[in-house]
């Protein structure tokens, strides 16, 4: 099945006076996917949503929906609905009337309204609360009503602006699962905004990492996490260790990089030539540690001493101070056949990693 | 000890505020023609009020003007407040300050300036000029009352309504209006009472052909306070008591 983009942003720019909120951004959003816009505060995520919904006018560029140009179409004429961060339920209407609002604006016949509101309430598991006023609902319930109010209109695309950020941790996890279920159940496109990388990774089909109004990388959560294309993405999505190095030798598909005076074999996906200064990136869980003297083979390693040991049940996190004074974070998983790994502070250790687990970026 | 003091203090303040009115109400039922001593209960002053036809006419005129001007001021003022909220335009702040200036300016200044305005236009003073004048001084009160509520509204509520398919008109009717209703009613009642008891501006802006109650009372009092005046004042006090109570109930409900 060939997937068509349902929404296409082409070189979209939005300027507020002297602030460039969105800077020549292009992005294709596909039918049925769960796409997350991830980025730090102020990077333009909300503005992108507001441009798609039609609340802001483009400074330049184009937005297409189902192949038709959308520039200038007002929000009430777009087949898109938004769930706002503040929920923004109508305070003078009960739950039923809130959800029925969109259908009534379209002059739907009242019997149909009742049926569809009932269905929407069922999807968000709020049946029976039709007559409550918004101020009689908990935060999580308000969130569900806001969802129901949007999905009852059967939009092709649902835009969600940090819908979970006002909820406490437990409720947020519960709602993450609910959101995924609703997404599967409805089969419509979700464009979700968050600045929480864990939320993005656990929920999305694809993630677009944004920075300063532009997209740094688009990809599946695994691609974003395992193969960040630049330092911004690498640093923003999870913890990472960075080693400075220089390419010494290139062979087919691989290279040898000198780090702190030692030579490490690495993959060379970006075809960097000899002499090139590079950064070698490693997630804490991709680094191997051994107590000094345990490694017998002549593998390259960096030496250091354990500075901090934090047991976390399933894992142990170490802070290792390398001999060149840089410190790195290492996460070790416990497994059955290796249960007596006990690290002490001050212990001398060697660290390295398996060939191919590193990411090499030009400096 | 301090609690007793608090009650005494409070009692004194309320006595200061309400004893004169209470005296007036009591004397309106006094059968003596001279208001100084009590000679038994009567309703005859109220009876005389009803049979005094110029007074009745002035009363009706006052009600008509108060109703018409408060309705006009409420409609215009609500739309103005909505515009101040919804649209960002150059000079918005300055214009809003001007609203306050009109509200604060002394009645006498307003009265004279309006009179000069009407004279310049060549309008004969009468019902129409009086109506215009009353709308003018009621308008700022409505704008301020409604604006103070509208500015507390979450802007994303309007966005949501549009997002759900409402056009500008539907947003106003189904979302903004219902939420503003208490403030609109309060503004209207305030205008109604302001118009009903205005003397100074009315004095300058109405003509001999169109008498209204406060002016009528004013001219009657110049010949000495008669018991009918007490009765009339009591009626007016009751009227404002009702409006104030209603306004209070309406604004307190669903906030
Ligand atoms: N209406 C506006 N007028 C002026 N500047 C604005 C307006 N809306 C947004 N901006 C600016 O545009 C930039 C992007 O804002 P935006 O709200 O899109 O960020 P965001 O990524 O959603 O941030 P957050 O995570 O904090 O919600 C910011 O610098 C912001 O100050
Ligand atoms: Mg935002």
A270 pLDDT above the threshold of 80: yes
B35 pLDDT above the threshold of 70: no
* Residue B142 CB partners (closer than 8 Å, separation 6+): B73, B74, B76, B77, B78, B81, B184, B187, B188, B190, B191
A103 Ramachandran zone, left/alpha/beta (phi>0; psi -120 to 50): alpha
pTM tops 0.95, yes or no? no
Phi, psi (rounded to 5 degrees) for A10: -120, 110
Asked which of A134-138, A220-224, B211-215 is least confident by mean pLDDT, the reply is: B211-215
Q: What is the mean pLDDT of chain B?
A: 88
B53 pLDDT above the threshold of 90: no
Phi, psi (rounded to 5 degrees) for A175: -70, -30
Q: What is the mean pLDDT of chain A?
A: 90
Q: Please state the rounded mean pLDDT for residues A211-232.
A: 94
* Residue A194 CB partners (closer than 8 Å, separation 6+): A36, A37, A38, A162, A164, A165, A200
DSSP character string of A98-138: HHHHHHHHTT--HHHHHHHHHHHHHHTT-TT-TT--GGGS-
* Chain B residues in contact with A81 (beta carbon < 8 A): 163-164
Inter-CA distances, B119 with A54, A263, B114, B122, Å = 52, 99, 9, 5
Ligand minimally distant from the alpha carbon of residue A44: 1
Instruction: Give the separation between CA A121 and CA A100, rounded to whole angstroms.
Output: 11
Atom of ligand 1 nearest to the CA of A195: 25
Q: Please state the rounded mean pLDDT for residues B168-189.
A: 90
A10-32 in b/e form (b: 16+ CB < 10 A) is: eebbbeeeeebbbbebebbbebe
pLDDT digits (tens, 9 = 90+) for A279-301: 999 999 999 888 887 765 678 88
Confidence of residue A314 (pLDDT cuts 50, 70, 90): confident
Across the interface, of A75, A90, A92, the residue whose CB is closest to B163 is A75
A335 pLDDT above the threshold of 70: no
A166 pLDDT above the threshold of 50: yes
In this structure, the residue with its CA closest to atom 4 of ligand 1 is A16
**Would you call B44 an interface residue with chain A, using a CB distance cutoff of 8 Å?**
no
A33 C-alpha to ligand 2 centroid (Å): 21
Question: What is the rounded radius of gyration, in angstroms, for the C-alpha atoms of chain B?
Answer: 22
Nearest Cα residue to B134 out of B207, B187, B199: B199
* Residue A44 CB partners (closer than 8 Å, separation 6+): A14, A21, A22, A23, A25, A210, A212, A213
Q: Please state the rounded mean pLDDT for residues B202-207.
A: 91
**Would you call A82 an interface residue with chain B, using a CB distance cutoff of 8 Å?**
yes
* Chain A residues in contact with B174 (beta carbon < 8 A): 101, 105
* Chain B residues in contact with A143 (beta carbon < 8 A): none
Residue B44 Cα to chain centre, angstroms: 29
Domain boundaries of chain B, sorted by first residue: 1-42, 53-251
Q: Which tokens hold the place of A271?
A: 């075809």
Angle between helices A95-105 and A139-151 (to 10 degrees): 20
A76:B154 CB<8 A: no
Confidence of residue B249 (pLDDT cuts 50, 70, 90): confident
* Percentage of the residues of chain B whose pLDDT score is greater than 70: 97
Instruction: Give the separation between CA A29 and CA A42, rounded to whole angstroms.
Output: 22
* Chain B residues in contact with A88 (beta carbon < 8 A): 154, 156-157, 159-160
Give pLDDT, residue B255: 44
Give pLDDT, residue A336: 58
Query: Which of B163, B179, B182, B254 is most worth mutating to test chain A (most A CB atoms within 10 A of its CB)?
Result: B163
Residue the block writes with tokens 């006018």: A57
Stretch (H or E) spanning B138: helix B127-150
**Would you call B167 an interface residue with chain A, using a CB distance cutoff of 8 Å?**
yes
* Residue A176 CB partners (closer than 8 Å, separation 6+): A164, A199, A202, A203
* Percentage of the residues of chain A whose pLDDT score is greater than 90: 66
Confidence of residue B33 (pLDDT cuts 50, 70, 90): confident
pLDDT digits (tens, 9 = 90+) for B57-113: 888 999 999 999 999 999 999 999 988 888 878 888 888 888 888 888 899 999 999
In this structure, the residue with its CA closest to atom 1 of ligand 1 is A16
Instruction: Give the separation between CA B83 and CA B75, rounded to whole angstroms.
Output: 12
Q: Please state the rounded mean pLDDT for residues B188-193.
A: 90
Q: Which tokens hold the place of B91?
A: 């000079």
Query: Which of B165, B180, B184, B253 is most worth mutating to test chain A (most A CB atoms within 10 A of its CB)?
Result: B165
Give pLDDT, residue A182: 92
Give pLDDT, residue A339: 57
Nearest Cα residue to B64 out of B195, B187, B241: B195
DSSP character string of B32-50: -SSTTS---B--HHHHHHH
Instruction: Give the separation between CA B184 and CA B192, rounded to whole angstroms.
Output: 12
Count of all residues that appear for chain A in the document: 363
Are A352 and A264 spatial neighbours (Cβ–Cβ below 8 Å)? yes
Stretch (H or E) spanning B129: helix B127-150
Question: What CATH number should be reported for the domain whose range is B53-251?
Answer: 1.10.3720.10
The DSSP call for residue B175 is I
Give pLDDT, residue A1: 47
* Chain B residues in contact with A106 (beta carbon < 8 A): 165
A81:B163 CB<8 A: yes
Question: What is the rounded radius of gyration, in angstroms, for the C-alpha atoms of chain A?
Answer: 25
Give pLDDT, residue A313: 79
* Percentage of the residues of chain A whose pLDDT score is greater than 70: 97
DSSP character string of B70-112: HHHHHHHHHHHHHHHHH---TTHHHHHHHHHHHHHS-HHHHHH
Stretch (H or E) spanning B182: helix B177-196
pLDDT digits (tens, 9 = 90+) for A20-76: 999 999 999 999 999 999 999 999 999 999 999 999 999 999 999 998 898 888 888
Asked which of A97-101, A297-301, A345-349, A356-360 is least confident by mean pLDDT, the reply is: A297-301
Sign of the Cα torsion A72, A77, A78, A81 reads positive
Instruction: Give the separation between CA A191 and CA A158, rounded to whole angstroms.
Output: 6
Instruction: Give the separation between CA A301 and CA B168, rounded to whole angstroms.
Output: 68
Across the interface, of A74, A76, A86, the residue whose CB is closest to B156 is A86
**What residues are in contact with ligand 1 under a 6 Å CB criterion?**
A 16, 19, 21, 39, 41-47, 195
Instruction: Give the separation between CA A34 and CA A204, rounded to whole angstroms.
Output: 5
* Percentage of the residues of chain B whose pLDDT score is greater than 90: 36
Compute the count of residue pairs across chains A and B with CB atoms less than 8 Å apart: 57
B165:A149 CB<8 A: no
B247 pLDDT above the threshold of 80: no
A126 pLDDT above the threshold of 70: yes
Instruction: Give the separation between CA A223 and CA A191, rounded to whole angstroms.
Output: 19
A232 pLDDT above the threshold of 50: yes
In this structure, the residue with its CA closest to atom 30 of ligand 1 is A42
**Would you call A102 an interface residue with chain B, using a CB distance cutoff of 8 Å?**
yes
Give pLDDT, residue A96: 96
Give pLDDT, residue B82: 86
Q: Please state the rounded mean pLDDT for residues B161-190.
A: 90
B254 pLDDT above the threshold of 60: no
């Amino acid at each position: 099945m060939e997937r068509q983009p349902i929404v296409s942003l082409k070189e979209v720019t939005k300027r507020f006076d002297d602030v460039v909120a969105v800077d020549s951004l292009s992005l294709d959003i596909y039918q049925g996917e769960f796409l997350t816009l991830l980025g730090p505060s102020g990077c333009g995520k909300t503005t992108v949503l507001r441009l798609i919904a039609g609340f802001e006018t483009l400074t330049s560029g184009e937005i297409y929906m189902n192949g038709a140009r959308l520039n200038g179409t007002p929000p009430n004429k777009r087949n898109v609905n938004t769930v706002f961060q503040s929920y923004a339920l109508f305070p003078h209407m009960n739950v039923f009337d809130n959800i029925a609002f969109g259908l009534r604006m379209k002059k739907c016949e009242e019997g149909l309204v009742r049926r569809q509101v009932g269905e929407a309430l069922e999807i968000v598991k709020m049946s029976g609360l039709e007559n409550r006023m918004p101020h009689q609902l908990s935060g999580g319930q308000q969130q569900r009503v806001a969802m129901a109010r949007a999905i009852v209109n059967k939009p092709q695309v649902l835009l969600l602006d940090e819908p979970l950020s006002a909820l406490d941790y437990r409720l947020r996890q519960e709602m993450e699962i609910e959101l995924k279920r609703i997404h599967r159940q409805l089969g419509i496109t979700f464009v979700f905004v968050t600045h929480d990388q864990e939320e993005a990774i656990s929920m999305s089909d694809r993630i677009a990492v944004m920075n300063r109004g532009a997209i740094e990388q688009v990809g599946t959560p695994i691609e974003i996490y395992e193969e960040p294309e630049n330092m911004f993405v690498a640093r923003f999505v999870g913890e990472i260790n960075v080693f400075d190095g220089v390419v010494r030798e290139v062979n087919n598909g691989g290279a040898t990089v000198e780090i702190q005076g030692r030579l490490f074999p690495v993959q060379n996906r970006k075809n960097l030539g000899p002499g090139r200064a590079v950064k070698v990136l490693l997630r804490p869980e991709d680094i191997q540690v051994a107590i000094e003297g345990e490694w017998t083979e002549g593998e390259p390693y960096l030496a250091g001493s354990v500075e901090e040991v934090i047991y976390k049940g399933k894992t142990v996190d170490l802070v290792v101070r390398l001999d060149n004074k840089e410190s790195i974070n290492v996460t070790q998983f416990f497994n059955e056949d290796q249960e007596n790994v006990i690290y002490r502070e001050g212990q001398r250790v060697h660290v390295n990693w398996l060939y191919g687990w590193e990411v090499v970026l030009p400096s | 000890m301090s609690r007793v003091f608090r009650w005494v203090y409070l009692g004194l303040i309320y006595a200061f505020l309400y004893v004169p009115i209470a005296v007036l109400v009591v004397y309106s039922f006094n059968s003596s023609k001279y208001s100084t001593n009590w000679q038994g209960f009567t309703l005859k002053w109220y009876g005389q009020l009803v049979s005094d036809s110029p007074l009745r006419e002035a009363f009706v005129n006052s009600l008509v003007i108060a109703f018409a001007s408060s309705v006009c001021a409420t409609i215009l003022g609500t739309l103005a407040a909505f515009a101040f909220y919804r649209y960002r335009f150059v000079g918005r702040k300055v214009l809003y300050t001007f609203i306050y200036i009109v509200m604060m300016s002394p009645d006498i200044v307003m009265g004279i300036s309006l009179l000069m305005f009407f004279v310049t236009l060549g309008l004969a003073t009468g019902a129409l000029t009086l109506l215009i004048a009353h709308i003018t001084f009621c308008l700022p009160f409505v704008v301020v009352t409604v604006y103070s509520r509208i500015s507390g509204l979450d802007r994303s509520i309007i966005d949501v309504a549009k997002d759900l398919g409402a056009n500008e008109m539907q947003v106003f009717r189904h979302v903004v209006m219902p939420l503003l209703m208490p403030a609109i009613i309060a503004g209207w009642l305030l205008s109604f009472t302001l118009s009903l008891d205005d003397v100074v501006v009315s004095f300058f802006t109405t003509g001999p052909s169109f008498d209204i109650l406060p002016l009528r009372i004013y001219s009657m009092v110049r010949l000495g306070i008669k018991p009918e005046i007490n009765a009339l004042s009591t009626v007016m006090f009751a009227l404002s008591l009702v409006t104030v109570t209603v306004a209070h109930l309406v604004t307190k409900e669903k906030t």
